[in-house]
Structure 1
Amino acid sequence: MGLAQFLQWNVSLFLLILSRLAGMIMLAPVFGARGVPGMVKLGLAVGLSIILYPLIKASNPVIPETLLLYAALVAKETFVGLVIGFVIYSLTAILQGAGQLIDFQMGFTMGNLIDPVYGMQSPMMGNFQLILATMLLLATNAHHYLIAAMVKSYAYIPVSPTALPQGIDFYVKLVSAVFSLSVQLALPVIGALFIADLGVGLLSRAVPQLNIFTVVFPVKIIFGFVVLFLSMAFFGEAINNLFNSNMAWILQLYKGWKP
């Protein structure tokens, strides 16, 4: 192998590694946030690619020599990274879904803000929970496990143009689990406000002379904040369980990847 071919093979392998890691970092929580500068994301992807390069090179992967096949392999590696990033992103989706349900019950549906983390409209409570969960992940160094999960992908999914993702049933179960966990996370606030609504309804029927609906909305918001504040004592444990479930989904995705 000549010097030119040697350099071409090594640069091609490095770009393949970078493509997968960039796809994962683009969607992963913490790293893929809009507030993280693009150069930081790129630097993280390049840094991890440099660290992983000797390990991937030791497996001596087959790299196509033709430009068309190589471009298809780069697209495939990017797709692999995006699929893994999508599964990791489900943690964020759970928090956003729970916040949407809480906002609907508290009457904040029309007051959605622009999410500073991902730069889109998001529920107020979901935005609050997402920022709080991000702080917890950073404080407990859980983002190191996210990086480890990205690196572990090469142990199950080698650089290969024939690798295919899991069947559609895996993603259907993933989406259903996201909805289910969102409801469970929001259930304390939703349940308390639902009981309060029942009490207000019964009181208005029992004493129709009272114009209770003029004060019920601000009281309902205050009551919702009180319940949310009381439930914060269990928020850390809930995030820990969600993170463990997320890691289990990633491992299930890796083991079910069909070559």
Structure 2
Amino acid sequence: MSLAQLLQWNLSLFILILCRWAGMIMLAPVFAARGVPSMVRLGLAASITVILYPLIQATNPPIPLELLPYVAVVVKEIMVGLVIGFLIYSLTAILQGAGQLIDFQMGFTMGAAIDPVYGVQSPMMGNFQIILATMLMLATNSHHYLIAAMVKSYAYIPINPSNLPANYLFYAELIGHVFALAVQLAMPIFGALLVSDVGVGLLTRTVPQLNIFSVIFPVKIVFGFVILFLSLPFFGESVAKLFDTNMSWVLELYQGWKQ
């Protein structure tokens, strides 16, 4: 191999590693927050690429030198990063779903705010849970585990993978798990507010002269915040279990992709 070909191979490998990390950072929690500038994300992906480059280079992965095959490999690497990032993003989707259920029961549905993390319209309780979960992840260095999980992907999905994930049943089950966990996370507050609805209904039957609409909304809001305050000590443990579950999904994806 001539010097020109050697330089081309090394540059091509660097770009492929960068593409996978850029795809993951575009979607993963913490890294994909709207408050993180695009140049910072790109710099983070490039920095990690520089660190991992000698390790990946030692495996001597096959890289095509022709233009069209190389573009196809670049697309596959970006897809690998996006799939992993999307799977990690499901943790945020669970928190948003739980917040949507809580907002619906508390009467905050019409007051959906702009998500400060991803810049889209989302429930207020979902915003609160996402911000709190992000702070917990940063405080406990959980984002390091996201990076470690991404590094582990090269052991299961090498550069230029021969196949793409085709097990659609896994993604269908993933969506079901996201909905189920969102309901479980919201159920303490959702169930308590449902009981308050029943209590206000019985009160209305007892005192027909009472205007239910002037009573139920303040009661539900105050009662919802009280239950939310009481459940805060258990929120960290819930986020930890969700994070462990999310990492198990990532490992399951790697093992299924390798087969």
TM-score, normalisation: structure 2? 0.98
Aligned to 2:167: 167
> What is the CA-CA distance between 1:166 and the residue it aligns to?
4.7
Counterparts in 2 of 1:175-190, with a 5 A limit? 175-190=175-190
- The one-character-per-residue Cα deviations of 1:45-81 (angstroms, maximum 9, x if unpaired) are 0011111111111111111121001001000000010
Q: Distance in 1 between matches of 2:69 and 2:160?
A: 12
After superposition, the C-alpha distances for 1:106-140 in whole angstroms (9 at most, x for unaligned) are 00000011111101001000000000000000000
Q: Which residue of 1 aligns with 2:213?
A: 213
Q: Which amino acid aligns with 1:256?
A: G
Q: Conserved in 1, the CA contact under 8 Å of 2:21 and 2:45?
A: yes
Cα shift at 1:160: 2.2
Paired residue type of 2:42: L
Q: How many residues align?
A: 259
Q: Distance in 2 between matches of 1:86 and 1:115?
A: 18
C-alpha distance after superposition, 1:3-58 (max 9, x if no partner): 11111000000000000010001100000111111111011100111111111111
Normalised to the residue count of structure 1, the TM-score between the two structures is 0.98
Question: Which residue does 1:158 correspond to in 2?
Answer: 158
Distance in 1, Cα, partners of 2:97 & 2:64:
43
Counterparts of 1:95-244 in structure 2, within 5 Å, are: 95-244=95-244
Residue 194 of structure 2 aligns with an amino acid whose one-letter code is F
Whole-Å Cα distance in 1 between the matches of residues 5 and 161 of structure 2?
Answer: 21
Give 1:49's aligned amino acid. T
| Code of the aligned partner of 2:53 | Y
The SS at the match of 1:50 is helix
- Look up the match of 1:53: 53
Other-structure match for 2:43:
43
Greater alpha carbon shift after TM alignment, 202-211 vs 169-178: 202-211
Q: What letter is aligned with 1:248?
A: S
One-letter code of the match for 1:230?
L
Q: Aligned-pair distance for 1:104?
A: 0.3
Give the C-alpha shift of residue 214 in structure 1.
Answer: 1.1
Answer yes or no: is the 8 Å Cα contact 2:20–2:80 preserved in 1: yes
Report the RMSD for the aligned CA atoms in angstroms. 1.0
What amino acid is aligned across from residue 62 of structure 2 in structure 1?
V
Task: Report percent identity of matched pairs.
Answer: 72
List gaps (5 residues or longer) in structure 2: none
State the shift of 1:163 in Å.
2.4
Distance in 2 (CA, whole Å) between partners of 1:45 and 1:111 is 36
Q: What is residue 251 of structure 1 aligned with on the other side?
A: 251
**Do the aligned residues in 1 keep the contact of 2:156 with 2:258 (CA within 8 Å)?**
no
The residue number in structure 1 matching 2:94 is 94
Secondary structure of residue in 1 paired with 2:160: coil
Separation in 2, partners of 1:46, 1:58: 19
Distance 1:173 1:32, change over 3 A: same
Q: Which moved more, 1:26-35 or 1:163-172?
A: 163-172
The answer as to whether partners of 2:29 and 2:92 remain within 8 angstroms in 1 is: yes
Aligned residue number for residue 79 of structure 1: 79
State the 4+ residue runs in structure 1 displaced beyond 3 angstroms: none
- Aligned equivalent of 2:21: 21
Unaligned 5+ runs, structure 1: none
